[in-house]
Amino acid sequence: MTDYLALSHQVAALCRETAQFILHEAKTFDPNKIENKGLHDMVSYVDQGAERRLVAGLREILPAAGFITEEGTAGAPGETQEFTWIIDPLDGTTNFIHSLPVFAVSVALLHGPDLVVGVVHEANRDESFRAAKGHGAFCNADRIHVTGAPALANSLIATGFPYTKFAQLDKYLQVLGSYMQRTHGLRRLGSAATDLAYVAAGRFDGYFEFNINSYDVAAGLLLVTEAGGRVTQFLEDGDPLFGREVVASNGHLHEEMQATIREFWA
């Protein structure tokens, strides 16, 4: 039987090493070597180098596992495998490119359809958030928990702004306006992995975003659930991992978060 807790420690060590590589590269980063994958969707040689390091290290940890990666350095997805790593080597690339110190390494492991290991290493604060299914969530050596905030009126909420595919923009702006009036405030850090880790650690009470990818949120979703929170899609339970929209919360204010979105999104 696979020891998910032991795996989480191995993955955390690898993510920290990768974060140190990213910070080293930041000192001499050349912004002229940025590539554009799509509108406002950038990738740097640092993203690609970090991903290659992660893929090589994870293959040593669990040789039979497959990969879902942001930059495709592991090659095309193969046949269905029992285990699958989901990797975002540098979540917050735009922040990194602009020297804004909020970006993270995110690695999760799927066993079949279930998230069983999740690690988010926030590089600039050198904080390692990790979770293993059934074992809780931690920041470095300390166990973490979601907040007890009972309602939106008591909450601080994180979100992300769309940077491509603006068809839903008007609805989203209405949702944002409603949250601004009902909460202590909204924050947009520019790293979904960090947002979710901060929900798990009780720094945010909730988070929501649409048009989001599995590699952005996979590790963070497990962190939130293992820290006692709840994750769904916008209007229903659905599949927050591959459904491209996420609501994450401490659980107490989850239905109120969904109801606020439903006013404009349905």
Residue 70 labeled ligand binder: yes
* Owner of token pair 């998910």: 4
Closest of 78, 88, 25 to residue 215, by C-alpha: 88
Structure tokens at 76: 């095309």
Residue 88 labeled ligand binder: yes
Whole-Å CA distances, 100 to 26, 209, 215, 252, 264:
11, 21, 21, 32, 32
Residue 205 labeled ligand binder: no
Task: Give how far the C-alpha of residue 218 lies from the chain's centroid of Cα atoms, to the nearest Å.
Answer: 6
Residue 196 labeled ligand binder: no
Distance between CA 99 and CA 242 in Å, rounded? 30
- Is residue 29 within 8 A of residue 44, CB to CB? The reply is yes
Closest of 59, 58, 46 to residue 19, by C-alpha: 46
N-term to C-term CA, the chain? 43
Q: Which residues contact 50 (CB under 8 A, 6 or more apart)?
A: 18, 21, 22, 89, 90, 105
Residue set of the binding site:
70, 88, 90-91, 216
Q: Which residues are annotated as a binding site for Mg(2+)?
A: 70, 88, 90-91, 216
